[in-house]
Amino acid sequence: FVGNSTYLDDHGPPPQKVLPFPSQVVYNRVGKCGSRTVVLLLRILSEKHGFNLVTSDIHNKTRLTKNEQMELIKNISTAEQPYLFTRHVHFLNFSRFGGDQPVYINIIRDPVNRFLSNYFFRRFGDWRGEQNHMIRTPSMRQEERYLDINVCILENYPECSNPRLFYIIPYFCGQHPRCREPGEWALERAKLNVNENFLLVGILEELEDVLLLLERFLPHYFKDVLSIYKNPEHRKLGNLTVTVKKTVPSPEAIQILYQRMRYEYEFYYYVKEQFHLLKRKFGLKSHIRKPRPRPEFFIPSPLETEEPMDDEEEDDEKWLEDIYKR
């Protein structure tokens, strides 16, 4: 650089103005981890702060071919900045395809609770309407819809056994086929990506602290998020998304789930620890009850790797838009 007068002569046009904050953010939201609540907040925030909220109509395709990855990365990368892109999709490595790696954020929750929420949501929906589940899973037979959760777990139905219980880790591990195989390889790769590519992975059980940190790290996107979240009107809307007809499995069934989800729990505790370190660093105290003791894991028998079931994710976008227009 040799002074303004000769800069254009020597270097051509000046570089694009760099925005003074991360201007490319991806929230590759994990299903049944509070993502509808956060997307509802993002809709309000994008209007308020003027960033580009890019959503997807595709809710049940988390795994992509190489061409699909390239296509999606190209589409995201050319969005008007600052943007926040959100979709249920396993981690995408932008730099592998020559793109700028965006800042990633995500939220996870206790794996058994996430699984139970999904199990009953697929069958019975939530308070938005008792008939929603019929539209969402029309091909589900009545005996499957009313299948007792204990029977599903104890009798090893596919929906309640591996690898379909291996759900959270692939969102952080990525698109490699081994990311869907329950094991150390996927676990370690997911941890590495959390460290290298995620600005924040929060814990749903401590959502207010997650929102506080997002506001601190990404103010252009999340300024005032906590006051919006605590607004009684918003709280009322949030209650509509609570899954109905949940029942708690027997202790024996839960212990079996813990065994089957041992890698998910290793990951969950790792993320939780990182999250608490971050909270302490920024002076946030954890106002939570003493955690339950970690489950005693037994090494599961060798896990077969079959193609996991497609995520039966709901089409929330239209619903959220309707609510926001009211």
Active site residues: 88
What separation in angstroms does the CA of 186 have from each of 175, 198, 256, 266?
11, 16, 21, 12
Cis-peptide, bond into residue 82, ω within 30° of zero: yes
Nearest to 63 by CA among 95, 85, 79, 87: 87
Contacts 24+ apart (CB under 8 A), 113-116: 114/30, 114/31, 114/32, 114/33, 114/167, 114/168, 115/165, 115/167, 115/257, 115/261, 116/149, 116/246, 116/248, 116/249
Measured between alpha carbons, how far is 57 from 316 in angstroms, rounded to an integer? 9
Nearest to 190 by CA among 208, 204, 174, 202: 174
Residue type, 84: L
